[in-house]
Structure 1
Amino acid sequence: MKALVLERQHELKLRDIDLPLEVGPADVKIKMHTVGVCGSDVHYYTHGRIGPFIVKAPMVLGHEAAGTVVEVGAKVTNLKVGDRVCMEPGIPDLASKASKIGLYNVDPSLTFWATPPDHGCLTPYVVHPAAFTFKLPDNVSFSEAAMVEPFAVGVQAAVKAEIKPGDVGVVTGAGPIGIMVALAALLGGCSKVYITDLVPEKLAIAGRYANIVPVNVRETSLADVVLKDTEGWGADLVFEASGSPKAYEGITEVIRPGGKLVVIGMPVEPVALDMSLFAAKEIRIETVFRYANVFDRALNMIASGKVDLKPLVTGTYSFDDSIVAFERAEEAHPTDVKLQILF
């Protein structure tokens, strides 16, 4: 079966590859329709690794996906042939200690599409556990359904932040994840979210949403803006979504006493933090690694109409043009947010 294969760093091929398609009793087989190009996919393509996850063998890319069920296992009761679905790409061991305490996303035995050594879903058909496959409401398009996966990261961040109604938030980094974190924070109860970046075009896209305030930190001090607007108190929550070590510089100035830093972006190099400054303000730190138990919440929020992710899809490509899509993503055009591949 044809798939988009990362042969090694910076070498992609659209070629046939043997992938398991046997449908177990608790599985479904899905004909793919839409797959989003994620920043992690692009990072594996350009760098061959993300932190401890290293591409050592050819790997199929893709994990933001939606499609149609074409076969169901004997024990599957929640789905049927013809159902439109999206898929949570991580498959944990539900008997593991991590799963039993609700943290299956950090289960050491978890497999996750397009995370070495596990193949992704940029191929016409996949087999997936029905328990991690979600039927789409009629009003949710395939394009929106393929956005559930990245939006779930934002929902996980909002849950970890323990947002209180009226909180003021800050998101550093106006990429796709940063914008979705900001939207999830607003849905979670934040009254206003400042979002930072160095690229005006990205900030302009984020600023189209009500109650998201863009701040170009190349031109303006984030601390000056936030402290002025909060009468010197600071933001209740800061979500770091850029992965840049520079984002941590002066971050303690922005957070109020007793506030919280939620780390989402995975830094490409170690980050130096002066913990005495955190301690002096009793700033709490939470971290996010993907998500757990929120995928259906993310889908429900999209279906409710309270969040519109359609404007974030800025380009579509056919499966045959998958390599072109990745070359475009590598170029990092400032007006691009989410590129999607259609089958």
Structure 2
Amino acid sequence: MRALVLERQHELKLRDIDLPLTVGPGDVRIRIHTVGVCGSDVHYYTHGRIGSFVVESPMVLGHEAAGTVVEVGTGVTGLKPGDRVCMEPGVPDLASRASKLGLYNVDPDVVFWATPPVHGVLTPEVVHPAAFTYRLPDGVSFAEGAMVEPFAVGLQAAVKARIQPGDTAVVTGAGPIGIMTALAALAGGCSRVLVSDLMAEKLAIAGRYPGVTPVDIREASLAEAVSAATGGWGADVVFEASGAPRAYDGIQALLRPGGCLVLIGMPVEPVRFDVSSIAAKEIRIETVFRYANVFDRALAMIASGKVDLKPLITETFPFDDSVAAFERAAEGRPGDVKLQIVL
């Protein structure tokens, strides 16, 4: 099949590649319609690796996807040909200790699309377990279906924060995950979310949502903005979604005593923590790696209208222009949030 193949760092090609399409028991075969361009895909393209995951052989990119079921394997009862679906891209070993603890996202043997050496889904058809395939409600488009995966990361963060109704939250970083985390926090009960960034264009997009207060940290102090919003008490939750080491400088000062710091972004270098200040406030620290047990809830929130992700889709490219889509994503244009590819 034709696919978008990362041959090696900085080299992408649309070419034929032999990919397995055998439909086994419990599987479904899916014709892909829409795939989102994720920051991790771009990182593999530009850097050739993410931490210990290294691209050592050609790999098909793409893991944020929606499409149509065209064939079902034996034992599949909840899906049928013609169903529009989105797919959770990580398949764990359900017998692993991590899975039995409900932490299948950190199962060492999880098979995750477009994570070396596993191929992704920027190709016309794929086979996937029905257990990790979700039917799209009639009111949810393919474009929105392909946004369920990144939104699930934000929802995982909101769940980890244990939000209480009326909480004030802060999100550092107004990229796709940062904005989606803010929306998940609002839908989860926060009364307001302050979102900080260096890019006015991204902050303008975030600021279109009711309940979001953008803070341009080139022109204003985030600590002062949080203090003013909370009467000096501090935020209930801070979500670090930028991955920038500098975001950690003084981050504990943003939180109230007993507040929660949720780490989402992955810094490319070690960061410094003021442990004494964190301990003195009894700040609770949570971490996020992808998501577990929230994918169906993420889809339900989109279907209900509580979360509108359509404004975050900046541009859609045809499959033939996939290389151009990745080159555009690698530019990091300030006004871009989510680029998608339609097959």
Same fold (TM over 0.5): yes
- Give the C-alpha shift of residue 53 in structure 1: 1.4
The one-letter amino acid of 1:155's match is L
Query: 1:125-136 residue pairs with structure 2 within 5 A?
Result: 125-136=125-136
CA RMSD of aligned residues (A): 0.6
Give the corresponding residue for 1:284: 284
- Give the C-alpha shift of residue 55 in structure 1: 1.1
TM-score by length of structure 2 reads: 0.99
Give the corresponding residue for 2:164: 164
Query: 1:232-251 residue pairs with structure 2 within 5 A?
Result: 232-251=232-251
Query: 1:309-328 residue pairs with structure 2 within 5 A?
Result: 309-328=309-328
Give the corresponding residue for 2:228: 228
Give the corresponding residue for 1:70: 70
Partners of 1:295 and 1:271 in 2: CA distance: 30
Render the CA deviation track for 1:258-290: whole Å, top value 9, x for unaligned: 001000001111111111111011111000000
Give the corresponding residue for 2:212: 212
- Give the C-alpha shift of residue 106 in structure 1: 0.1
Of the structure 1 ranges 135-144 and 53-62, higher mean CA displacement relative to structure 2 is found in 53-62
- Give the C-alpha shift of residue 250 in structure 1: 1.1
Give the corresponding residue for 2:115: 115
- Give the C-alpha shift of residue 113 in structure 1: 0.4
Give the corresponding residue for 1:202: 202
- Give the C-alpha shift of residue 231 in structure 1: 1.2
Indicate the SS of the match to 1:70. Answer: strand
The one-letter amino acid of 1:4's match is L
Give the corresponding residue for 1:190: 190
Partners of 1:74 and 1:282 in 2: CA distance: 52
- Give the C-alpha shift of residue 151 in structure 1: 0.3
- Give the C-alpha shift of residue 195 in structure 1: 0.3
- Give the C-alpha shift of residue 228 in structure 1: 1.6
Of the structure 1 ranges 49-58 and 176-185, higher mean CA displacement relative to structure 2 is found in 49-58
Q: How many residues align?
A: 343
Query: 1:34-183 residue pairs with structure 2 within 5 A?
Result: 34-183=34-183
- Give the C-alpha shift of residue 45 in structure 1: 0.5
Indicate the SS of the match to 2:15. Answer: strand
- Give the C-alpha shift of residue 51 in structure 1: 1.6
Partners of 1:217 and 1:301 in 2: CA distance: 31
Render the CA deviation track for 1:96-151: whole Å, top value 9, x for unaligned: 00000100000000010011111100000000000000001000000000000000
Runs ≥4 in structure 1, deviation > 3 angstroms? none
Partners of 1:226 and 1:195 in 2: CA distance: 10
TM-score by length of structure 1 reads: 0.99
Partners of 2:137 and 2:190 in 1: CA distance: 27
Unaligned runs of 5+ in 1: none
